[in-house]
Amino acid sequence: MSRLLRWAFDGAAAISALLLVGSCVLWSRSYWRYDLWLDKQRAVQTSISSIRGGVHIVRTNWAVPFPPSDQGSHWYTMPTFPFDTLDSQYGSRTRDWRLAGFAWIEGDAREGAFYPGEPRVPYRAVVVPWWFIVVFFAAFPLARLASRLRRGRMNADGRCPSCGYDLRATPDRCPECGAVPTARPLKPKVTGKWIRR
């Protein structure tokens, strides 16, 4: 692997590790703070929120456009309460699919009595658990760490870091793939005892 490509992979692993730390912080914060980003454009309302171990992405289509003064993006944060469950977050539901913290919910955002002729306010919600986001960001740094440990072990054993070929006879260059090892391999250990006759 070329040095530039290795640096690119190491940089991506470092960014992923930073996102991993941030995800862990937001995951724990979601149990005591309800963070909400809300965007209103014309008659469409989109929100992304973090609450009680999950990230909720909701899109609601209103029948009447929002007034110009009410349009735009806003950020809110408030305390989280024990009754802030998935069931209490959403109103009338026509679809409610859940598995291991993931959820897909569709329904009508109108609350209370539905009057004849009242237009529907359909919404769709996707819930992604924070544990999945943490595992996603942890995968790449762990893979890079395992690769570095394997390469270091191969160098210590006198093997090519690229293909694993035994370099003890040809330590300067791998005859299999042409790679130049960064460190000279160790000489083979002599085992056994001398027998005096």
The three-state DSSP-derived secondary structure of 51-117 is: ECCEEEEEEEECCCCCCHHHCEEEEEEEECCCCCCHHHHCCEEEEEEEECCEEEEEEECCCCCCCCC
Give strand pairing partners of 46.
39, 59
Is pLDDT above 70 for 183?
A: no
Q: Quick check: 112 pLDDT over 70?
A: no
State yes or no: pLDDT of 185 exceeds 50.
no
pLDDT digits (tens, 9 = 90+) for 15-60: 999 999 999 999 999 999 999 999 999 999 999 999 999 999 999 9
Instruction: Evaluate if residue 104 carries a pLDDT over 80.
Output: yes
pLDDT of residue 46: 96
Bridge partners (DSSP) of residue 104 are: 97, 126
Confidence class for position 196, pLDDT limits 50, 70, 90: low
Tell whether the model's pLDDT for residue 197 goes beyond 70.
Answer: no
| Contact status, residue 145 vs residue 164, Cβ threshold 8 Å | no
pLDDT for the residue numbered 15: 94
Q: Is the dihedral of CA 73, 78, 80, 83 positive or negative?
A: negative
Nearest to 91 by CA among 115, 108, 103: 108
Residue range 55-87, pLDDT digits in tens: 999 999 998 899 999 899 999 999 998 888 888
Query: Is residue 189 scored above 60 in pLDDT?
Result: no
Number of neighbours of residue 16 by Cβ within 10 angstroms: 18
Cα 21 from chain centre = 11
**If you average pLDDT over residues 7-11, what whole number do you get?**
86
pTM: 0.70
C-alpha–C-alpha distance, residues 165 and 181, integer Å: 11
Strand, helix or coil for residue 126 = strand
Of the pLDDT bands very low, low, confident and very high (cuts 50, 70, 90), residue 181 is low
Comparison of pLDDT for 115 and 107, the residue scoring more: 107
The CA R_g of the chain, rounded to the nearest whole Å, is 28
Name the maximum alpha-carbon separation found in the chain: 110
CA 179 to chain centre: 34
pLDDT tens track for 119-159: 888 999 999 999 999 999 999 999 888 877 776 665 656 77
